[in-house]
Amino acid sequence: MGAVERRARQREEVRSQIVDAARDIVVNEGYHALTMRRIAEAVEYSPAAIYQYFQNRDAIAVAVTSEGFVQLLHAFAPSRSLDNPRARLEAIARAYVDFGLTNPQTYRLMFMEDPEITRALLAQPDRNDPGTQAYLAIVEPIALLAQQGAIDARDDASVRAIADTLWVTVHGIVSLKLTCPTFPETPVDVLIASAMRTFFEGILKR
Amino acid sequence: MGAVERRARQREEVRSQIVDAARDIVVNEGYHALTMRRIAEAVEYSPAAIYQYFQNRDAIAVAVTSEGFVQLLHAFAPSRSLDNPRARLEAIARAYVDFGLTNPQTYRLMFMEDPEITRALLAQPDRNDPGTQAYLAIVEPIALLAQQGAIDARDDASVRAIADTLWVTVHGIVSLKLTCPTFPETPVDVLIASAMRTFFEGILKR
DNA sequence: GTGTTTACTGAACGCTGTTCAGAATATCGT
DNA sequence: ACGATATTCTGAACAGCGTTCAGTAAACAC
């Protein structure tokens, strides 16, 4: 038999063609340029045909964004292999900012464009999704530092509070630089250096 | 005579009616709900008539956003009167987060929605606009602390770098909480307390 | 009151997301 | 191989969007 299998495979193939086309449009022209007709043209279908593969445009945007979280986790990989937890944490933070600035449109989709899109990918209780994995990559070195007594964090909530503090900092750098690259006149490398220095001076016991 | 004056006054009156209607729509339903037809309906004009008062929809959005920066500066007022520069700085930072969280749609328009809108209001060399004034309100206490020798900042750029570091932190808190209120599980009051503590521990000499 | 400038409207254009009846295609049972 | 059935795709349409423009209504100047 296998005909039903092949159909399922072809379906998946078209689905990923659609997502690929959507990603190209978003990356090159921004989310506002992501229209069903543009996608349909790229994959050589009629606009209506797309609805056989995705419920609506939002679902396609979510699929593109989902890939973004995978990419982010991927961008963390080299940093995660560093032995020293402090160096590891700083490298991850810098990789985060780097990812956001080199993938502005994807980052906007992940964290700025539409709360519904972000919620669809981060609000799930599943702890195995790439977004949560990326978050845990930040938590891990902090938990280790706390365990080593290098920072003050009695319980799990305190560790997460520090992780979230770092997260909002790096997210703030990316987010602000993406919306107004010129106004905070401090160059991004100086800004991140200042933020890293302040953060570690702030949390490390001495 | 005075007829030309009265006409100018009436024009200004209609303009502010349009901006008021636009602000209501944005605040209550979000930027996506801000359509020319909705605005026209609110001010009881035909959609085309609006174009006699604003060049296009973006110009109206900019006007609404501009009011947002005035409101932000206003929200800083009580904090700015505090004598102690450290207390003043922290109060301003907390007022910033408070403003963002209590005016989510306005804040989105100011710093997240469309880079063009933000740029139109912040990228001007004029140092008297409310946005820059609000920024200078953050810079001032830091400059004073540097002058007092409480923090390390030799030159003006270093002072601004520290100001920008604080700014990205509070912006990060607001921005992240607005797009995903649930995921960083740390409650916002705990998060800002952690961020403030880390920031001041990080910059204050001891 | 007449002429002229200003304010406004209705209709239209080309977009948008989405729906749906019907046509085309592929699969299945015999 | 062929008719029946399930699936896939299209064209046309709907309502709404920002914006433009010819033409009407109103206010002004003289």
Which residues have CB under 8 Å from A54's CB, separation 6+?
A15, A18, A60, A63
Alpha-carbon distances, residue B105 vs B27, B116, B184 (angstroms): 5, 16, 20
* Phi, then psi, of B204 in degrees rounded to 5: -75, 130
Looking at the fold, whether A65 and A159 belong to one and the same domain comes out as: yes
Tokens coding A192: 């991140």
- Domain ends where: B54, B73, B99? B54
Which residues does chain B have within 8 Å of residue A199's beta carbon, measured at their own beta carbons?
Answer: 198, 202
Residue B122 is assigned to a structural domain of this protein: yes
Looking at the fold, whether B132 and B169 belong to one and the same domain comes out as: yes
Question: What is the residue range of B123's domain?
Answer: 65-203
Looking at the fold, whether A71 and A140 belong to one and the same domain comes out as: yes
Contact A119, B182 (CB under 8 A): yes
Q: Report the C-alpha gap between B195 and B200 in whole angstroms.
A: 9
Give the best residue of A122, A158, A164 to mutate against chain B (max B CB count within 10 A): A164
**B114 confidence band (pLDDT: 50, 70, 90):** very high
Q: What is the DSSP letter of A187?
A: -
Whether the pLDDT of residue B200 is over 90: the answer is yes
Looking at the fold, whether A32 and A130 belong to one and the same domain comes out as: no
Indicate which CATH number applies to the domain containing B138.
Answer: 1.10.357.10
Looking at the fold, whether A88 and A172 belong to one and the same domain comes out as: yes
Domain count along chain A: 2
Q: What is the DSSP letter of A123?
A: S
Q: What pLDDT shows up at residue A1?
A: 44
Q: What pLDDT shows up at residue A8?
A: 82
- Binding-site residues on chain B for chain A (CB distance < 8 A): 111-112, 115, 118-119, 122-123, 131, 135, 157, 160-162, 164-165, 167-173, 175-176, 178-180, 182-186, 190-191, 194-195, 197-203
Distance from CA of B5 to the nearest CA of A (A): 37
Q: What pLDDT shows up at residue A3?
A: 65
Alpha-carbon distances, residue B118 vs A183, A195, B55, B111, B147 (angstroms): 10, 23, 18, 6, 32
Looking at the fold, whether B104 and B193 belong to one and the same domain comes out as: yes
Tokens coding B29: 């339903």
Alpha helix segments (H runs only) across A44-114 = 47-50, 57-80, 85-102, 104-111
Which residues does chain B have within 8 Å of residue A101's beta carbon, measured at their own beta carbons?
Answer: none
The gap from C-alpha A133 to its chain's centroid, in whole angstroms, comes to 10
Contact A186, A194 (CB under 8 A): yes
Whether the pLDDT of residue B102 is over 90: the answer is yes
Residue B59 is assigned to a structural domain of this protein: no
ipTM of the modeled complex? 0.94
Looking at the fold, whether A86 and A31 belong to one and the same domain comes out as: no
Which residues does chain B have within 8 Å of residue A183's beta carbon, measured at their own beta carbons?
Answer: 118, 122-123, 131, 135
- Binding-site residues on chain A for chain B (CB distance < 8 A): 111-112, 115, 118-119, 122-123, 131, 135, 157, 160-162, 164-165, 167-173, 175-176, 178-180, 182-186, 190-191, 194-195, 197-203
Whether the pLDDT of residue B44 is over 50: the answer is yes
Whether the pLDDT of residue B13 is over 80: the answer is yes
Q: Report the C-alpha gap between B205 and A98 in whole angstroms.
A: 30
Reported for A23-28, long-range contacts at CB under 8 A and 24+ positions apart, including other chains, are A23/A64, A23/A67, A23/A106, A26/A61, A26/A64, A26/A105, A26/A106, A26/A109, A27/A103, A27/A105, A27/A106
Looking at the fold, whether B137 and B190 belong to one and the same domain comes out as: yes
Q: Report the C-alpha gap between B171 and B165 in whole angstroms.
A: 10
Indicate which CATH number applies to the domain containing A18.
Answer: 1.10.10.60
Angle at B157 between CA B153 and CA B160, to 5 degrees: 85
Looking at the fold, whether B96 and B182 belong to one and the same domain comes out as: yes
Tokens coding A97: 């900012």
**Mean pLDDT of each 10-residue bin along chain A, 206 residues long:** 73 96 98 98 97 97 98 98 97 98 98 96 84 96 97 95 98 97 93 98 92
Whether the pLDDT of residue B123 is over 90: the answer is no
Q: Report the C-alpha gap between A51 and A47 in whole angstroms.
A: 8
Q: Report the C-alpha gap between B190 and A153 in whole angstroms.
A: 13
Q: What is the 3-state secondary structure (H, E, C) of chain B?
A: CCHHHHHHHHHHHHHHHHHHHHHHHHHHHCHHHCCHHHHHHHHCCCHHHHHHCCCCHHHHHHHHHHHHHHHHHHHHHHHHCCCCHHHHHHHHHHHHHHHHHHCHHHHHHHHCCCHHHHHHHHCCCCCCCHHHHHHHHHHHHHHHHHHCCCECCCCHHHHHHHHHHHHHHHHHHHHHHHHCCCCCCCCHHHHHHHHHHHHHHHHECC
Residue B27 is assigned to a structural domain of this protein: yes
Burial group, residue A190, by CB count within 10 angstroms (0-12, 13-18, 19+)? middle
Looking at the fold, whether A38 and A122 belong to one and the same domain comes out as: no
Helix axis angle for A85-102 and A130-147, nearest 10°, is 150
Distance from CA of A170 to the nearest CA of B (A): 8
Q: Report the C-alpha gap between B161 and A187 in whole angstroms.
A: 9
Query: Which amino acid is it at B43?
Result: V
Q: Report the C-alpha gap between B173 and A203 in whole angstroms.
A: 18
Tens of pLDDT along B159-193? 999 999 999 999 999 999 999 998 889 999 999 99
Looking at the fold, whether B23 and B116 belong to one and the same domain comes out as: no
Contact A88, A82 (CB under 8 A): yes
Which residues does chain B have within 8 Å of residue A171's beta carbon, measured at their own beta carbons?
Answer: 172, 175-176
Helix (H) or strand (E) holding A33: none
Looking at the fold, whether A105 and A173 belong to one and the same domain comes out as: yes
In the numeric block, the tokens 């690929």 are attached to A20
Residues with CB under 7 A from strand D: A 7, 11, 14, 44-49, 52; B 1, 3-4, 6-7, 34-38, 47-48, 51, 56-58
Asked if A179 and B203 come within 8 Å (Cβ–Cβ), the reply is: no
Residue B42 is assigned to a structural domain of this protein: yes
